[in-house]
Amino acid sequence: MKKLQMIRFAFISNLVFLISVGLYAQPIEKMVKVAVTPDHADWVYKKGETAKFKVAVTKNSELLPNVRIKYEVGPEMMPPVLKDSATLRDGNLLITGGTLKEAGFLRCKVIAELEGVKYEGLATAAFNPELIKPTVEYPSDFLQYWEKAKRDLATIPMDIKLTLLPDKCTELTNVYQANIQNYKIGSRLYGIVSIPKKPGKYPALLRVPGAGVRGYSGDVAMADFGIITLEIGIHGIPVTLDAGVYNDLGKTALDGYPLFNLDDRDKYYYKRVYLGCVRAIDFIFSLPEFDGSTLAVTGGSQGGALSIVTAGLDGRVKYLGAYYPALCDLTGYLSNRAGGWPHLFRDHVVVKEKIETTKYYDVVNFAKNVKIPGFYSWGFNDVTCPPTSTYSAYNSITAPKELLIMQETGHWTYPEQQEKMKQWLLGKLTGKH
């Protein structure tokens, strides 16, 4: 029985990590593969050093002769500085990609066409990524602004409403939808909280969501093994509705929500979101089953951003785990380099009010206030949350930190990557490694 329980836990907990942390599945396998690889094993170069990219086009693991390709090379997310084409007589090619004089990333993109179908591959070389500095300014009143926002939040009653979800409960865990008042009267925060049934005091894990509009199932597997988990949504709507409701909202009322009221720092959409994360911690601390101290926060993409933001905002968080955080160094495009999701200024349109607002919401500026241990992970090929932007935040963190780089990943993760994150969090929360 115990062995079956362990198997069930391993399966469910891995599934939960994929869904609740906001991770993306690996790319779909294709018949023809275009492999692009920098000629340094770690994909890392020094400024001024020449990067070369090895290209191999295969089918059934065999090199394809005489395949025609097009390729381009340039700083990530920027217009290419080199564009050309070639015929790979034996399926191989070595492209001299050039260099960067400043710390950053150089990307080579290759497209092969076979029988009318296009196949794409890319690789991204890093140049002294540890030296990347953010472009976003740190407002002189940043801390005062958010301290006041938290004081205002503290005056709002939580008005907690818990609804038991019997179909999600297990022998060991009770599962509820939590409905909590957020930072304004009438503004609500919803989530799924899983609480061990056995009397005792437990550590807690807050899961913050990736971008989009969806429902959530909670993390029963962690709770079954003695960790309270709260998985929240950010849009102020119940998280147990039919999938079609979220799909409709994502295409209508909540379409483009990262841009809502961007010209006003007090009305910007993410103010309620960021304070909602603090309110989620208020709720966790109200639970009689919580041990009153041991709390971690984790997420990927938008959830990676919210993990860093929450840790930078609230000293009650003790550990954080973040995959490829979004909302990092949003003004990067205004300095002719990659900025973070949602790529607000990619068109280089300068709107003073919007730039001013982003200073108070950019993950970089919260990263500067992180004081707790963190585990971070991403890849060099991410075109959603470009590594230039994520390094801008990571390099701003002075607290103890670990970075797991999976060079060839884009906006997705390997199972091994997920396992390392899970074990790191479990080790911190339970004291067992």
**Max CA separation in the chain (angstroms):** 71
Provide the pLDDT for residue 21.
47
- The CA-based angle 298-300-304, given to 5 degrees, is 65
Rounded to two decimals, the pTM is: 0.93
Provide the pLDDT for residue 30.
85
Residue 387 near residue 129, CB atoms below 8 Å: yes
Between CA 230 and CA 222 the distance in angstroms is: 10
Six-digit token string for 121 = 């591959």
Q: Chain centroid to CA 303: how far?
A: 5
3-state secondary structure of 432: coil
Query: Known catalytic residue: 13?
Result: no
Six-digit token string for 235 = 């849009």
Provide the pLDDT for residue 339.
97
* Residue 237 burial (CB count, 10 A): 17
Q: Which residues of the chain have pLDDT under 70?
A: 1-25, 348, 433
Between CA 37 and CA 27 the distance in angstroms is: 17
Domain 2-19+133-430: give its CATH superfamily. Answer: Alpha/Beta hydrolase fold, catalytic domain (3.40.50.1820)
How many residues are recorded in the chain? 433
Residue 413 near residue 323, CB atoms below 8 Å: yes
Query: Does 2.60.40.10 match the CATH number of domain 32-129?
Result: yes
Six-digit token string for 62 = 């065999």
Pairing of strands 188-196, 173-181: antiparallel
H-helix or E-strand containing 243? helix 243-251
The one catalytic residue among 13, 301, 307, 396: 301
> What residues form DSSP beta bridges with 267?
none
Between CA 295 and CA 309 the distance in angstroms is: 15
Six-digit token string for 271 = 């103010």
The one catalytic residue among 282, 314, 377, 411: 411
What are the extents of the domains in the chain? 2-19+133-430, 32-129
Query: Known catalytic residue: 411?
Result: yes
The one catalytic residue among 219, 314, 329, 382: 382
Residue 156 near residue 185, CB atoms below 8 Å: yes
Residue 207 near residue 21, CB atoms below 8 Å: yes
The residues, ordered by sequence, that sit 6+ positions from 305 with a Cβ below 8 Å of its Cβ are 299, 322, 325, 326, 327, 328, 363
Pairing of strands 228-232, 202-207: parallel
* Residues 233, 239, 245, 246, Cα dihedral to 10°: 30
Between CA 190 and CA 362 the distance in angstroms is: 24
Query: Known catalytic residue: 382?
Result: yes
Residue 109 near residue 339, CB atoms below 8 Å: no
| Burial class of residue 151 in the structure, from the number of CB atoms within 10 Å of its CB (0-12 exposed, 13-18 middle, 19+ buried) | exposed
